Structure 1
Amino acid sequence: MENKKIKELIDLAISYIPKSEVKVISKAITFSSQAHDKQLRKSGEPYINHPIEVAKILTGIKLDVSSIVTGLLHDTVEDTIITTSEIKNIFGNEVSNLVDGLTKINKFSLKVKNLKLGENYRKLLLAATKDLRVILIKLADRLHNMQTLRFVDNHHKRISTSLETLDIYAPLAQRLGMREWQDKLEDLSFQFINPEARNSILERLEYLNSKDVNVVDEIRYELNKSFIDENVDCKIYGRIKSPYSIWNKIKNKDISFEQLSDIMAFRIITNSTRECYKLLGVTHRKYSYIHGRFKDFISSPKINGYRALHTSVIGPQNRKIEIQFRSNVMNQIAEFGVAAHWKYKDPKEIKERDTKEYRWMHELLDLMNSSSSQDELIENSKIKLFEDNIYVFSPKGDVLELPKNATPIDFAYSIHSEVGDKCVASKINGKLQPLKSILKNGDQIEIFTSDDSQPSPLWERFAVTSKVKSQIRKFMRSKKKEEYEIFGKEILMNAFKKENIEFSDSAINNILKPFNCKTNEDIFELVGSGSITATKVLKTIYPELKISYSKNKSKSNLPIKLKGLTAGMTYHLAGCCSPIIGDQIVGIVTAGIGVSVHTIDCETLSSYADSPERWLDISWENSSGGRQNSTTRISVTLKNQPGSLGKVTTIIAKNNGNISNINFTTRKTDFFEIIIDIEVRDVSHLNNIIAALRLVSEISSLIRVKG
């Protein structure tokens, strides 16, 4: 065991934990060291180094002594012969329960497959709702594992672990307000998932730093001078945004590196809330304020408790900069998230309170339990994890909390599902507005209903709340139940006829049990929806029957499979929006033609709004191997200079895209426009290529072309 690492941990603990309690930490180090004796990490180091590093990370957010001890013992039950009973006898109930919570989480083989991912969300959140410290310790464990991931030889393992970190652990860290941990988890994952894009961003940042080497110091000096004149004591910190944060903005906002307005950020820490507002005013007098960039998270805190004032201004050398204003207490919460509560209150009191942190976890668990499929569960979970909230009013003055960008549809369903199902119109601040209008903080909403109304499939396009999307999908599925029953019975009757067997309800009634059905209609629905085949029904009723007709050996010329299609249905990808794997899609049934597959935001869908019976709730079927690439199209405007086109084609190739066609649409002296057809695996693959291209300075615009 390395005495240096132990001394570092003890020194960190003594800085805020009474010396009398630090003794149990030393005891846990010895216990863990003996339990992991002769075990090695992938790096070749003694295994004990890992729990010590996890414990050090936990001291960084000043967690209580039970959490530090648990960090030291977290792998003992899973990886050694130690039992929870032994831990309980030596370290007590509290530590034993925390270790048990972590052990239950770790029993999963964590893989980035939707089937596993959904259950991992549940397991993490169930443990966290019992004691929030479990998830904090698990995050610290993951953080150190990511810091040492480079020692894992298996490339696939490094990628899958990094993807899982981005899908589960980083968003959980964000939800808990652990911004520093979130940034580290994201950047470490980015380093393995897309090293070329990360290096490209770092090169651009290095260039900017060399060009504007004095900008940060200049801004800090100017702000400090202005604040001193106001007799306000504060601290000023300047930083450059993380590579992953920059990459995400390039991808999500469809902008180039040059268009980013907040690469540079400053944090002003004051003594009080009043001083935050005062220094905001001073800043706006000093620099030109960028309209639409001010956010008051003091009066409307984020759901994870984050409070601050955010603004963006034009600084020296015409640089756009973001400035945040926080009091000392706000800064503690911003830095340490929910862990900041442990600094001021008894941890037992914290874990028993029904705080906002616990509320969103319970809401997410409810949402996950109501999701109809693993894909929907993951989609809803991510929405819930990343959403920020707004506050709006009912006509009676009741305050309702909704996600950012929510619409009157979300508001209606938040009142009651029946109000949502029957809503026909809305008033926002006394004026009639479309149901797809985006609500803002402080809006007053009135909903009008009609007993004759029912949800439109289009509502899913502009509803934001995950639960509302699920309810709309549920309604659309229920509309199809009767349709499936009729279709299924027809399929069975034809199958019986082909075998020269008389169809009878009594024959179907005899096989309800094998298919876990209660009525004949349930069997018809299963056949009509494609869940079971007519052949399987016949074989179950008549086991000795030899099916006289041969199975259709010809397969669809489309290798892409879709969930939600009835067996035998033909489909085609709509040319108006050209969907690719990963796009959110919907099917439109046309008699004699089959199913047209559209993206959920396709403008053509509005013409089918009054025919909900023609809509099919479909999705791409997960398939790991043998899946054919999809062809999609991008439009690129390039500077007309040597090597610019070469850069584009090289980046596409490096990101495993295959160019099938290039068409020059415009040629000018200064620039030219090209249309590129690219073969990609899915929409995520395409987005990565687009984001990588946006880092090329020679590209002035780039969009995906649908249709």
Structure 2
Amino acid sequence: MVQVRSPQPVNTDGSIDLGRWLDHLQTMVPALDRKVLLEACEYARSADERVKTPEGSWGNGASSHIIGLEIAEILASLKLDQDSLVAAVLYRSVREDKITLADVRQRFGPVVGKLIEGVLRMAAISASLNPRESLVLGTQVQVENLRKMLIAMVDDVRVALIKLAERTCAIRAVKNASGERRRKVAREVFDIYAPLAHRLGIGHIKWELEDVSFRYLEPEQYKQIANLLHERRVDRDLYITHVVQQLKNALADSDIKAEVKGRAKHIYSIWRKMQKKGLQFSQIHDVRAVRVMVPEVRDCYTTLGTVHSLWRHIPKEFDDYIANPKENGYRSLHTAVIGPEGKVLEVQIRTHDMHEEAELGVCAHWRYKGADVSNGPSHYEEKISWLRQVLEWHEELGDIGGLAEQLRVDIEPDRVYVFTPDGHAIDLPKGATPLDFAYRVHTEIGHGCRGAKVNGRIVPLSYSLQTGEQVEIIASKQGTPSRDWLNSNLGYVTTSRARAKIVHWFKLQARDQNVAAGKIMLERELARLDTPSVDYERLAEKANLKTAEDLFAALGAADLRLTHVVNLAQQLVEPAERGTDQFEFIPRRSSTTTTSRPGRRDDIQIQGVGNLLTQIARCCQPLPGDPIVGYITLGRGVTIHRQDCANALQLAGREPERMIQVNWGPVPEKTYPVEIFIRAYDRAGLLRDISQVLLNEKINVITVNTQSNKEDSTATMALTIEIPGLDALGRLLGRISQLPNIIDARRHRTAS
């Protein structure tokens, strides 16, 4: 739910009563130096009086002095130190050129000056974001500004916290601003600052930023859920009051000193759960929820037993984040039960320390010179380490979408935790490979990687790492990346971080090398898939490039995905194959709930508007898997463009109200028979290994025919398999090619 803040104390003349305001701050930060902070407030106020801004810095009538007090109040709730609060009070005045940074340094010291300078560097991102674009569609300017932001964050994490507080004030202040202004601020906050608050573990800031951003970006969805919550609020409040009292009595009988409160479910988290799991509002278990806070960890589990003895536990609705904390350090017990009146109820159980950490995150473990942290190692260093890992991107950040993935880890929570030879833990997405690990450790280790050992045993670079394994990279100082690493069919890298670094390396190479390498890559893949001769000039035109040489160069520099180009090639030869027994690698429409253009087999799902006539834009010709966006035409339904299409971007600029979100429909279940040919040096276990690959890829085998040649010790196999599409076939042949002793693995077309 959106936070409701208390108004600042005012004098009879309408000015802020700084004495009472400081009294309020001191309840949150007892060690506050009132004299220094009062001097900063007076300095900012006098600057406001000298330099007037009629509409206020955000167009809402608020002066930079008032905004500074609001920012400082948020930071005080996060328990920040004296220098941070002073910097917060003065920041907007410096930003609006009412006072100079040099004057701040002279009057309040170099630390305050450095903090303000860092926040000013982060502020560059606000100027570059387009309110109609997601961060995924960012420009090179945005990349550069994000780079500045990350550098500022790593210099001193307090800079990021001041900026978080400032953006919280900004999104609160745009309530009465224009729709475009609200969307601009909301887009920036939702894409960057809410995920950042999550990564730093600052729960109440994250929830407020998500809810308010959601209200401005998806107003209809927000109102719908808010109304559903409001309709049930009175009944829910009475119900929660009864549950809280019942639980308090039961815990008192068990001699547990507990604080029990009702907990409001945040609107955006309700919507996200409904979308992610395909649920109705009535199926959300944690709309009714209570939170229990106890003194000790052992009391958490005792309380859990009490809760389960009072009400029946719902299977598979229990999470122990105390034994297995979330990546951002969050710890708590979550359980769902059938409460009184047969209603589903969520219960969260945690200690008071855990609650403080959930609300304040990194701020709950503040470690600056002179700070005393007595409860052992904190998550503070881990979070700073994460920020530094993100900074390693600054040399090769060319993909904003990758950054969004790195920030918003809660979208894909499945992680694996592996160890370096020195015993340091590294977390990676599920399915990560030794190459992903190498690039996570250091760029040069990734570039020079020539092999890997897992638990002392040499494994392929495409090996899928598992939690608890120790990984050692075998690297060469003269080593360079292989272009095969970028072939998704071979499965060498799975993270956008590693891919971005490899792509960056190849972009630095000469164009002639890229042309030669790209041509070899494409010819080899087309030969393996037994695709008939392709006109490369036509193929380049289909990929929106001028010449075949441009196509090869783009492939060699990894600007184009090999699988994407192969799919285009298949479309070029497809008309000649109609009427034969060869299958088509284009998904067929598989659901009556999706719509498609007549004659087109690409399933397109239109979000939120039901069935509409759709057509594929000729300018960019998106393919299944490409990021897409819809444009509502006059009389011709919805035209589907790639998100990076120049025409679509121009239309979004001129008529944003006619752009709608679309995505590809579900992958069809239909499969097609294909014959593949494998030639290998004969050895024991060869057929078993190939069968294992087929099993891992979930490929059904119809027929197998094997022959051995004693003269040259080779074996040939002809297999007829059922395959869902061209991508799956390329991936399968890639996996088979990596087996020991394999000479050739390719698709075989029977003569018609």
- TM-score, normalised to structure 1, is 0.65
C-alpha distance in 2, partners of 1:382/1:565? 38
Q: 1:378 aligns with which of 396, 403, 413?
A: 403
Q: 1:409 to 1:77 in 2, by over 3 A?
A: same
The total of aligned residue pairs comes to: 554
For residue 363 of structure 1, report the CA deviation from its aligned partner.
Answer: 0.5
Amino acid at match of 1:278: T
CA–CA separation in structure 1 for the residues paired with 2:17 and 2:232: 37
**CA deviation digits over 1:516-535, x for unaligned, max 9?**
xxxxxxxxxxxxxx9xx9xx
Residue 609 of structure 2 corresponds to 652
Taking the TM superposition and a 5 Å limit, the aligned residue runs for 1:115-514 are 115-153=140-178, 155-209=179-233, 212=236, 214-342=238-366, 346=370, 355-371=381-397, 373-375=398-400, 377-382=402-407, 392=417, 398=423, 400-403=425-428, 405-407=430-432, 413=438, 417=446, 439=466, 443-444=468-469, 455=485, 457-458=487-488, 465-470=495-500, 484-486=514-516
2:80 partner letter: L
* Separation of aligned partners in 1, 2:257 and 2:158: 35
Contact 1:173 1:182 in 2 (8 A): yes
Contact 2:402/2:496, CA 8 A, preserved across alignment: no
Q: What is the rounded CA distance, in whole Å, between the counterparts of 2:420 and 2:280 in structure 1? A: 43
CA distance in 2, matches of 1:593, 1:316: 60
Equivalent residue runs for 1:55-70 within 5 Å: 55-70=72-87
| 1:505-584 alignment, distance < 5 Å | 567=550
Change beyond 3 A, Cα 1:147–1:444: same
Match of 1:92 among 109, 114, 119: 109
Matches of residues 7-46 of structure 1 in structure 2 within 5 Å? Answer: 7-17=19-29, 21-37=33-49, 38-39=52-53, 40-41=55-56, 42-46=59-63
Match of 1:49 among 66, 88, 101: 66
Q: Which string of whole-angstrom CA distances, capped at 9 and with x for unpartnered residues, describes residues 77-132 of structure 1?
A: 22124222211121122212212222222245241443343333322221122222
SS of the residue corresponding to residue 68 of structure 2 reads helix
Offset at residue 166 of structure 1 (A) = 0.6
Given the superposition, is the C-alpha separation of residues 163 and 95 from structure 1 closer, same or farther in structure 2, using an over 3 Å criterion?
A: same
CA distance in structure 1 between the partners assigned to 2:298 and 2:100 by the alignment: 53
Identify the residue that residue 589 of structure 1 maps to in structure 2: 566
TM-aligned CA distance change 1:90 to 1:634, over 3 Å: farther
Could you tell me how far 1:330 is from its partner in structure 2? 1.2
CA distance in structure 1 between the partners assigned to 2:516 and 2:191 by the alignment: 41
Q: Which string of whole-angstrom CA distances, capped at 9 and with x for unpartnered residues, describes residues 219-245 of structure 1?
A: 323322321221110111222321111
Q: Give unpaired runs (5+ residues) of structure 1.
A: 491-529, 534-551, 572-582, 598-606, 609-630, 638-647, 662-676, 694-701
Give 1:486's aligned amino acid: A
1:111 aligns with 2:123: no
CA deviations on 1:155-203 (whole Å, 9 max, x unpaired) are 3232122111111111111111111111111111111111111001112
The 3-state SS of whatever aligns with 2:327 is: coil
Name the SS for the 1:355 alignment partner: helix
The answer to whether the aligner puts 1:704 opposite 2:665 as a matched pair is yes
**Partner SS state of residue 566, structure 2:** strand
For the 8 Å contact 1:175–1:304, the answer to whether it is kept is: yes
Q: What's the CA shift for 1:34?
A: 1.6
Unmatched 5+ residue regions in structure 2? Answer: 1-12, 131-137, 477-481, 521-535, 555-559, 575-583, 595-604, 616-636, 649-656, 669-752
Secondary structure at the counterpart of residue 325 of structure 1: strand
1:51 shift after superposition: 1.3
1:297 offset after TM fit, Å? 2.5
Aligned to 1:672: none
CA distance in 1, matches of 2:561, 2:342: 40
Distance 1:54 1:704, change over 3 A: same
Letter of the structure 2 residue corresponding to residue 121 of structure 1: L
SS in 2 for 1:652: coil
State how far apart, in whole Å, the 2-side matches of 1:390 and 1:96 are: 39
Distance 2:471 2:323 in 1: 24
CA shift in 2, pair 1:169/1:230, >3 Å: same
Residue type matched to 1:264 in 2? R
TM-score (norm 2): 0.61
Larger mean CA deviation between 336-345 and 27-36 belongs to 336-345
8 Å CA contact 2:418–2:427 kept in 1: the answer is: no
Q: Residues 205, 489 of structure 1: CA spacing in aligned structure 2 closer, same or farther, 3 A cutoff?
A: closer
Partners of 2:152 and 2:422 in 1: CA distance: 37
- Change over 3 Å in CA distance of 1:331–1:395 after alignment to 2: closer
- Residues 367, 373 of structure 2: 8 Å contact kept: no
Contact 2:243 2:340 in 1 (8 A): yes
- DSSP-derived class of the 1:44 partner: coil
Name the residue aligned to 2:673. none
How far apart, in 1, do the equivalents of 2:404 and 2:448 lie? 25
Compute the displacement of 1:387 (Å). Answer: 6.5
What secondary structure is seen at the aligned counterpart in 1 of 2:609?
helix
Segment of structure 1 superposing worse, 117-126 or 460-469: 460-469
Tell me, yes or no, if the aligned pair for 1:422 and 1:454 is still in contact at 8 Å. Answer: no
Equivalent AA in structure 1 for residue 199 of structure 2: R
The question of 1:73 aligning with 2:90 is answered: yes
